[in-house]
Structure 1
């Protein structure tokens, strides 16, 4: 009897482990939450590979190199960033939703984007310059390899720690500064 109880408990534990490590799909559209650009799709809605309703468009207002917004009818820039862990250039799965939004937007607008990487102020200027460039390159790699965009649609740049958006005096501020941003390139 003792062995049967142990086997039963093991089986229940195994089921809980499988559930804990499975991809979560909150809206049950077949696209994991971490890659779902439209995470609140209604039930029985046909979605594309990004998890968005096939007829629905995702609109973003991105900054241009001249400081305006694109598309021109936009009134306010939307902040779309990919954030990174300390001293890392790999794109974390938690950031795929931001990349999916950009990918959806890129299918609507045949423009070129510059992906600009940034760091916090920890480390040398030389290290941060290389790291910021590598971050932008990592985002480009995801857009090219996982979403199928042409590499020629993107430029990459690294700004190191010279353009913080938050104070580097706190851990939360430094985390905000470890990012890659998207800027529309002029034609």
Structure 2
């Protein structure tokens, strides 16, 4: 009987890990591990980081202008300055990946569409910085981080019209974690490609 209980407990733990890693406590569609505002009220439109998007004006004359600002991104440059320079609350858009994968998900494609829309008509260079968690050899992780950056570049270029020559790639492997590699959620946060604006 004890052996049966042990097996059941082990199975529960194994199946609970993905649920924790992909949980969404406030139900806004943004997983908790990348939700900057984990207690967003139900029904509020949110941006990619889980925080409330700027509400569009109900005035029909200003609706289109407000709608544009609601989806605008305040990005960071590789010099840690905001882009555009007059925006506030700058963030680094990030594309996250499953373990040992370089596949760009549909959710991430939606974020990349916003980035491309933000940069349409602006002749700026983008830096894509690829990262992995700590599992695997240094060489394998470097190549995986490079592949992740290349795949994000391919989506930006092939799907959303950002000229490939405007995209720089950098690979860091597991050398620059943003969270602990001791937990599944921390490792999930580390499997990422960061998008920054390059300053000459």
TM-score by length of 1: 0.68
Aligned to 1:159: 172
Deviation at 1:108, TM superposition (A): 5.5
Q: Hey, what's the Cα distance between the residues in 1 that align with 2:78 and 2:90?
A: 13
Aligned to 1:180: 193
Q: Hey, what's the Cα distance between the residues in 2 that align with 1:163 and 1:109?
A: 30
Q: Hey, what's the Cα distance between the residues in 1 that align with 2:92 and 2:157?
A: 22
- Do 2:116 and 2:161's aligned partners in 1 also have CA atoms closer than 8 Å? no
From the CA coordinates, give the structure whose radius of gyration is larger.
1
Find out whether 1:150 has 2:163 as its counterpart.
yes
Q: Hey, what's the Cα distance between the residues in 1 that align with 2:180 and 2:121?
A: 35
- Do 2:77 and 2:198's aligned partners in 1 also have CA atoms closer than 8 Å? yes
Q: Hey, what's the Cα distance between the residues in 2 that align with 1:64 and 1:120?
A: 24
Equivalent residues in 2 for 1:86-165, closer than 5 Å: 86-107=99-120, 109-165=122-178
- Do 2:104 and 2:151's aligned partners in 1 also have CA atoms closer than 8 Å? yes
Q: Hey, what's the Cα distance between the residues in 2 that align with 1:151 and 1:82?
A: 18
Q: What is the number of equivalent residue pairs in this alignment?
A: 140
Q: Hey, what's the Cα distance between the residues in 1 that align with 2:152 and 2:106?
A: 12
The CA RMSD over aligned residues, in Å, is 2.4
Deviates more, 1:93-102 or 1:53-62: 53-62
Q: Which runs of 5+ in 1 are unaligned?
A: 1-37, 46-52
Q: Of 70, 92, 115, which aligns to 1:79?
A: 92
Q: Which runs of 5+ in 2 are unaligned?
A: 1-52
* Residues 57-97 of structure 1 deviation map (CA, whole Å, 9 limit, x = unaligned): 43222221222121111232223111111011121222112
Deviation at 1:128, TM superposition (A): 0.5
Q: Hey, what's the Cα distance between the residues in 2 that align with 1:170 and 1:129?
A: 21
Q: Hey, what's the Cα distance between the residues in 1 that align with 2:90 and 2:190?
A: 18
Q: Hey, what's the Cα distance between the residues in 2 that align with 1:70 and 1:80?
A: 12
Deviation at 1:110, TM superposition (A): 2.8
TM-score by length of 2: 0.64
Q: Hey, what's the Cα distance between the residues in 2 that align with 1:96 and 1:131?
A: 19
Q: Of 68, 71, 89, which aligns to 1:56?
A: 68
